[in-house]
Every structure is written in structure tokens, then in C-alpha cells.
Amino acid sequence: MPHIDNDTICAIATPPGRSGVGIVRVSGPLAASIAKNILGLDPTPRYAHYSDFTGADGEVLDQGIGLFFRQPESFTGEDVFELQGHGNSHVLASLRDRILSLGARLARPGEFSERAFLNNKIDLVQAEAIADLIDSSSQQAVRSALRTLRGHFSRQISLVIEKLIATRVDIEAAIDFSDEDISVISNTRVEQSLADILEDLDKIFEGAQQGAILKQGMNVVLAGKPNAGKSSLLNALSGIDSAIVTPVPGTTRDVLTEPITLDGLPLNIVDTAGLRDSSHIVEREGVKRAKLAIDQADQILLIVDQLTHAQDTVSADTVEKLLASLGLIGDASAGIGSLLNRTTLVFNKTDLVKDGKTGLDSVDCGGIKITVINISAKTGSGVELVREHLKCRAGYNPGTEDVFVARQRHLIALEAAAELVKSAIQNMDAKSPLELLAEDLRLAQKELGAITGEFTSDDLLGEIFSTFCVGK
């Protein structure tokens, strides 16, 4: 555990700019004396003091509410003093400077939450959930962050840790008695608990994965020939006219990104220049950037003008030819497999084809299933199918119970713990020495402990808290 600084920290906690109320926070042993200096009285804990906020020479810097919390009953677990004044940056700066002159220092980003963590007011996932809540880009993301903040994720992890400990106790006891040639370990009981633990871990992983999807979203790139209707689809998906649509091929030359949310799932829809050989220097640069965006995309919607490609002739061969004609295969930048795995074919302009296909289809490309969707970006027909398909591709299932906001590090630790439990089960089946089993379970417990911050390196803590806002 890193040591806890016992100096007093201070930060403006509200964003810069004008607002109704502006808040300055103080945490640490000097909080009470700072409060006394500024309010002119000994603050009563948890009492809203309406007061002048005075400067060093008794001048009034602002007027508002002063709140004092006596440790350990505060957010950080230390003495905390909060000034709620007016949301003006000069006012707040003068209050902050006054507090600094009374012996506090400026807080680092996330230092209040870090102290809350170090003083055991919250665990590490809860601290992370605070930052994730503030960064949430949808209602669903907010809900899952709140669930984590309120301890649901931590409780589920703790339950599994308890089960792991109970099983370890059984096994360690058996190891101690192994000389006496009596079987004190009930194999079926251990087998059952291990299966049970694995099931729990799978369930938590599912909830955490949904949370991670909600947090990270997905980059979806619209690609295709000029005039296929990429910009029109961007506008149809986002519901606003952000991209310029004209009948002139080569209209879009920049990479244009529009954030949208589908049922709470955040997506960045990226419109690109149509892929063709062009002699125009600006368009050539646009095509270069489009290819870069395609390389980095989570999902690629390949838009094809129905008039230029009869839909009933779509086969694996067509798909490859299409990709080749766009210059997407042939260069070694990304393997065709990685490209196909991320690609969906969108046949556009169904409104122009008499009795044209509608709905959703798929073709098999050497074992990779490519979805084909028929749409009209102009009339909106089939656009809902594109939305549903993207949700599905993101692995998004809003129906899942217990969605926790989660980070990549949680997913990695959960997976590692599950692997170790699987290895323990294998060792059990293979009748390996019990010590091996015990070691697997010890390491699994350590992985889970790293999630909640029980076993976490100082470096990782520094990394986590440094991404927080100042004042949180």
C-alpha cells in the first residue's frame, strides 16, 4: 500500500467558466482551521453555514455555503471543507489562493478519490467508477457506472474471493494431513465449488464486458466508391445533416466523425472519401486517410450502389473483387481475414431498383460470414437493420442483468482468474499434487484482488488516478 500523504489538499471542483455555483474543496488536517479562517467561526460538522468567505485582510471574497465534514465521516475519510460560492473563475481562483495561503497545496488529478481509496472509503473499482460516471456518454453508461460505484461489482468479486478462500482452506488442510494417508479432502465438494466459481466468473465477465462496451463504444467506418451513398447513410444514422451530400463523385474528402448512441451504446460513425484513383491532390489525400480509418475501424460498412452491382450475384468472389476494386486488398497492411471479419456489405439505393431485394442476407467468404444489408439511405428503408446489426456486432445486449461499468484491466483480470480456476480443475482431474491446485487458486484470488485494489502496484494506482479530473 502506498503511504497516505497527510498534508492538506485543495482544488476547484467545478469546471472552469460561468456557472450558478462554483465549488472549492479542501481535504486534510488543516481543513477545520482553514474553515475557521474563512467563515470566521468553528464549523459544525455536516451543518450548512451560510456565510461571507473572507480574505486575509477581512475583505469579502464571496458569499455562500461552507460545509465541514469531520473525519472519518467524509468522502476522503479525512477532515473535509467545501465552499459553495458563485461560479465565476476569478471568485473561485481567489478562494483557492486564500486556502493555499492557509497552508494547503493544490491537489493532483484524482487525489481526493485516491485518498478515499487509501482510507478504505471506497475500493479501486468504485474509484474508477467515479471517473467513468463523470465520463459517461449515455444514460445506460451512467446506470452501469452507478451500479459499480454503489458496490455491486465489488460485492460479486468479493463473493467469488470468499468461495476461493473456502476451497483453498479445504485443499490446504488436505495438504497438511497428506502424510497420514487419510483422504480428508472431498473431491466432489472441491470439484463442485470450482465449477461454481467458474460459473460465477463467467457471469461477472459477461456483465463487465457489456459495461466495457458501453464505456468504449465502437468505431464504425463507412467505406465505398464515390457516390455509393456513404454520406447519406451517415446522415440517416445520425439523424442530422452533418455530411455534405451531392451527386458529384468525390464530394467527401475529409474524414468526418459523428458520435451517435444506439440504445445507450456509443458509436463513432466515420464518413470517408470514396475510394478511387484520383489525380486530384486533395482527393488523393482523402483516399489515403480513408484507408487509414478503415485499418483502424472496429467495424466497416462497405456501401455499394445497387445500380452498379446486381445483388443476386453476390458471392465470396464478388466480395473479394469489391474489396480489390477499392484497393483494400493487395496491400499487406491488414490481412484479408481481419478485413472480412469487420466488414458488412450494405447495398444502397434499393428505391431505384424495381423489385430489388430488401432485408438482410449473408454470404460465406472462406468460412467468414459476411452480412449483406439492403437499404435506401434516401427513404430510410433498412437503416434500422443497420442499427440492429451494429449493436449485435458490438456484442451489445442491453437485456443483460448486472451490467457493471468495467475497464479493460478488469476484463483481463477476470479472464486470467477464470483460466487459473480451469487449470485447477484440470489439475484435479489429472490427480496432480494438491500443491499445484492450491497455487492456481492462490493466483486466481490475487487476480481478483487486483480488481478491487487489494493487491495493486503503486504504479498502476498512479496511472489510474492521474486520468481523473482535478477536484475529484
Ligand X SMILES: Nc1nc2c(ncn2[C@@H]2O[C@H](COP(=O)(O)OP(=O)(O)O)[C@@H](O)[C@H]2O)c(=O)[nH]1
| Footprint of Mg ion on 102-161 (CB under 5 A) | none
Q: Can you say whether the dihedral through the CA atoms of 311, 364, 296, 333 is positive or negative? A: negative
The site map against ligand X for 167-206 (x = CB under 6 A) is ----------------------------------------
- Minimum CB separation of residue 370 from ligand X in Å reads 20
Choose the stretch contacting ligand X; rule: CB under 6 A; options: 24-32, 103-111, 228-236, 451-459.
228-236
Q: Is 378 in the site for ligand X (CB under 6 A)?
A: yes
Q: Is 252 in the site for Mg ion (CB under 5 A)?
A: yes
Q: Is 140 in the site for ligand X (CB under 6 A)?
A: no
Of 215 and 225, CB closest to ligand X: 225
Q: Quote the distance between the C-alpha of residue 118 and its chain's center.
A: 23
CA dist 318 → 273, 311, 325 (Å): 22, 10, 10
- Minimum CB separation of residue 345 from ligand X in Å reads 14
Q: Is 253 in the site for ligand X (CB under 6 A)?
A: no
- DSSP-derived letter for residue 312 is G
DSSP-derived secondary structure for 385-415: HHHHHHHHHTT--TT-SS-----HHHHHHHH
Of 410, 426, 433, which Cα lies nearest the Cα of 195?
426
Indicate which of ligand X, Mg ion, none lies near residue 228 (CB less than 5 to 8 Å, by partner kind). ligand X
Q: CA 172 to CA 186: how far, in whole Å?
A: 12
Indicate which of Mg ion, ligand X, none lies near residue 471 (CB less than 5 to 8 Å, by partner kind). none
Among 231, 278, 427, 452, binds ligand X (CB under 6 A): 231
Q: CA 112 to CA 109: how far, in whole Å?
A: 8
Of 242 and 251, CB closest to ligand X: 251
Indicate which of Mg ion, ligand X, none lies near residue 253 (CB less than 5 to 8 Å, by partner kind). none
Among 97, 191, 320, 351, binds ligand X (CB under 6 A): 351
Q: CA 118 to CA 71: how far, in whole Å?
A: 14
- DSSP-derived letter for residue 45 is B
The crossing angle, in degrees rounded to 10, of helices 139-149 and 187-216 is 140
C-alpha cell at 452: 478491487
Choose the stretch contacting ligand X; rule: CB under 6 A; options: 170-178, 243-251, 319-327, 453-461.
243-251
| Footprint of ligand X on 9-38 (CB under 6 A) | none
Q: Is 247 in the site for ligand X (CB under 6 A)?
A: yes
| Footprint of Mg ion on 403-442 (CB under 5 A) | none
CA dist 262 → 64, 72, 391 (Å): 42, 42, 7
C-alpha cell at 403: 451490467
Rounded to the nearest 10°, the torsion over CA 471, 72, 103, 57 is 90
Q: CA 466 to CA 472: how far, in whole Å?
A: 11
Indicate which of Mg ion, ligand X, none lies near residue 20 (CB less than 5 to 8 Å, by partner kind). none
Q: Is 278 in the site for ligand X (CB under 6 A)?
A: no
Contact residues toward ligand X (CB under 6 A) are 224, 226-232, 245-247, 251-252, 274, 348-349, 351-352, 376-378
